[in-house]
């Protein structure tokens, strides 16, 4: 019971931290975008595609390997062997971190000139190479803190890193005030580089503080680091190889999009601006509410794993029904709200009609995107990681091919079509797999039709209220918050009135987050 309660507290803590970090990140992204402009954000997105692959190489599956290696010891919080295994993990991370750093530093010029065809990317890539070793080593320490169930240290480290990044980046953008697109991107990346280095230092201090948890008065026996690294690599490399493939495909996609826009007829600056408006401005807003959903879904993975281990297929079907119900109630509400408020979101956050248009175009896809997130969590709980990995690789490959074909002919619309194709494909493959192995059969009326009618009703009523009373005397930001609040309350009320969300549903939801919660009525086993 103590372990379960400790897991719950850690999960809830990480949920709150994830939501806080996502809120801060999106808010800071809005500030930076307004400060440097869409073209600079486009250049940043272009560089980020290469950087993401470099990070994948630097980490090479080490965080998961650290968790599984350290937690594999019988009492990892007090056993000296955990520290021995950690040394092997650090050595593995140092090797790949240095390798990735040297490769990115050495290849920055040819990547900038011949791959990205953007010389302004060379200096940013060189700067980013300095962050790869700290990121790799920090991944090990994050994995260690997760394994020994001290998630609060991860939380403190994440918050500290974000504060440093925002403070230093803000100083460079405001005080130094770079005059060029390249200078603005360098300022943003320099803030991230400083925060990554300090994050490693802070995590190491937290680890040194952890020493008192280990058995005292004993000397560590001689460790065969070579054997330890082989054991770590056996866990990490299968994950790393699949990550290389997917990350490499995504990097190619990021390279092809601006090229396709230029081939369509846009100039280089216009192509980067359109790409930045969609990738770095609209998408973060659309994906922001998913932080709540992903945290909720992760809480159910151990429960699904436990039921799968004992062969309780009925309970798995019940959980799948509940997860799909809550996911679609949330996602359809978010999608409908963003569709209705897309103009206000784009104007209030970025002062851009273009971003408003992108948010409006992506809003109908939100239920599918969020449903895919919940389905992936369920599949992980059922031991379907390899299947999910293969689906993600197929997704990335189809995305590259679609971008190569569609963007040169349809411009930014081609990229939007690509997002629709890949998201629908990914969700279809994942959902069909979950339905097959679980035997769950969803009821479309309850899952789709009622929530859809509820959000249409909520937005229509708010629209009537706006026309009747108006909100011209209040600021745009306050008006947006008021509209979101009104839509949320009316939507929730209509869900109750249509029977989409009942008292039994609320009790189940509370019990999922608080297992000790007492309820008088037994929960219904009918799948939604």
What are the pLDDT digits (tens) for 78-91?
A: 456 667 778 889 99
Q: Are 511 and 519 in contact (CB under 8 A)?
A: yes
Q: What is the pLDDT of residue 146?
A: 74
Q: What is the pLDDT of residue 433?
A: 94
Q: How far apart are CA 282 and CA 285, in angstroms?
A: 5
Q: What is the pLDDT of residue 511?
A: 65
Say if 94 falls within a structural domain. no
- Strand, coil or helix: what is 111? helix
With CA atoms as reference, report the closest residue to 32 among 280, 231, 248, 220. 280
Q: Are 362 and 356 in contact (CB under 8 A)?
A: no
Q: How far apart are CA 352 and CA 218, in angstroms?
A: 63
Say if 467 falls within a structural domain. yes
Residue 431 CA, distance from chain mean position? 20
Taking the C-alpha atoms of 54, 55, 57 and 58 in order, what is their torsion angle to the nearest 10 degrees?
120
Domain region containing 389: 288-528
Say if 301 falls within a structural domain. yes
In terms of C-beta density within 10 A (0-12 exposed, 13-18 middle, 19 or more buried), how is residue 179 classed? exposed
- State the total domains in the chain: 1
Q: What is the pLDDT of residue 302?
A: 59
Say if 221 falls within a structural domain. no
Say if 392 falls within a structural domain. yes
Looking at residue 279, the DSSP 8-state letter turns out to be I
The pTM score is: 0.81
Q: What is the pLDDT of residue 21?
A: 78
The CB density around residue 236, as the number of other CB atoms within 10 Å, is: 26
Q: What is the pLDDT of residue 85?
A: 79
Q: What is the pLDDT of residue 498?
A: 87
Q: How far apart are CA 133 and CA 140, in angstroms?
A: 11
Q: What is the pLDDT of residue 92?
A: 94
The mean pLDDT of the chain is 84
Say if 179 falls within a structural domain. no
With CA atoms as reference, report the closest residue to 48 among 163, 114, 140, 131. 131
Q: What is the pLDDT of residue 520?
A: 44
Say if 238 falls within a structural domain. no
Q: What is the pLDDT of residue 519?
A: 45
Number of H helices, E strands in the chain: 21, 0
pLDDT < 50: residue spans in the chain: 1-4, 74-78, 217, 517-528
Q: Are 175 and 190 in contact (CB under 8 A)?
A: no
Say if 328 falls within a structural domain. yes
- H or E stretch at 173: none
């Amino acid at each position: 019971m103590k372990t379960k309660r400790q897991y719950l507290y850690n999960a809830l803590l990480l949920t709150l931290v994830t939501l806080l970090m996502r809120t801060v990140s999106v808010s800071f992204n809005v500030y930076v975008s307004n400060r440097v402009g869409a073209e600079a954000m486009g250049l940043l997105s272009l560089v980020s595609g290469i950087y993401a692959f470099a990070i994948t190489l630097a980490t090479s599956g080490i965080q998961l390997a650290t968790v599984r290696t350290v937690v594999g010891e019988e009492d990892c919080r007090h056993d000296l062997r955990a520290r021995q295994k950690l040394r092997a993990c650090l050595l593995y991370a140092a090797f790949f971190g240095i390798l990735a750093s040297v490769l990115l530093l050495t290849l920055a010029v040819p990547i900038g000139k011949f791959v990205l065809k953007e010389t302004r990317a060379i200096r940013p890539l060189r700067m980013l190479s300095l962050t790869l070793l700290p990121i790799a080593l920090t991944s090990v320490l994050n994995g260690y803190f997760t394994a020994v169930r001290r998630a609060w240290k991860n939380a403190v480290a994440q918050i500290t890193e974000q504060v440093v990044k925002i403070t230093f980046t803000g100083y460079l953008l405001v005080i130094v005030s770079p005059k060029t697109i390249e200078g603005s991107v360098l300022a943003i990346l320099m803030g991230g580089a400083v925060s990554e280095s300090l994050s490693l230092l802070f995590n190491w201090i937290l680890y040194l503080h952890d020493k008192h948890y280990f058995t005292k008065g004993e000397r560590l026996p001689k460790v065969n680091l070579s054997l330890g690294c082989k054991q770590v690599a056996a866990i990490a490399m299968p994950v790393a190889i699949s990550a290389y493939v997917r990350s490499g495909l995504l990097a190619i996609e990021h390279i092809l999009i601006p090229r396709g826009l230029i081939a369509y007829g846009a100039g280089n600056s216009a192509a980067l601006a359109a790409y930045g408006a969609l990738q770095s401005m609209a998408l973060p807003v659309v994906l922001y509410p998913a932080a709540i959903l992903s945290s909720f879904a992760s809480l159910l993975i151990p429960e699904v794993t436990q039921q799968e281990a004992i062969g309780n297929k009925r309970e798995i079907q019940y959980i799948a029904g509940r997860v799909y119900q809550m996911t679609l109630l949330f996602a359809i509400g978010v999608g409908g709200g963003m569709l209705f408020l897309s103009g206000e979101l784009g104007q209030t956050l970025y002062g851009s009609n273009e971003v408003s248009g992108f948010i409006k175009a992506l809003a109908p896809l939100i239920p599918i995107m969020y449903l895919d997130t919940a389905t992936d969590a369920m599949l992980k709980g059922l031991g379907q990681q390899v299947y999910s990995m293969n689906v993600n690789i197929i997704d990335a490959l189809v995305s590259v091919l679609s971008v190569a074909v569609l963007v040169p002919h349809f411009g930014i619309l081609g990229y939007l079509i690509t997002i629709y194709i890949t998201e629908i494909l990914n969700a279809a493959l994942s959902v069909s797999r979950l339905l097959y192995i679980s035997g769950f059969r969803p009821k479309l009326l309850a899952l789709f039709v009622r929530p859809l009618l509820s959000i249409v009703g909520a937005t229509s009523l708010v629209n009537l209220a706006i026309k009747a009373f108006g909100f011209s005397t209040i600021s745009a930001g306050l008006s947006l918050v008021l509209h979101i609040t009104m839509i949320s309350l009316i939507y929730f009320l209509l869900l109750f009135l249509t029977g989409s969300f009942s008292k039994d549903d609320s009790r189940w939801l509370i019990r999922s987050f608080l297992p000790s919660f007492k309820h008088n009525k037994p929960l219904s086993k009918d799948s939604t």
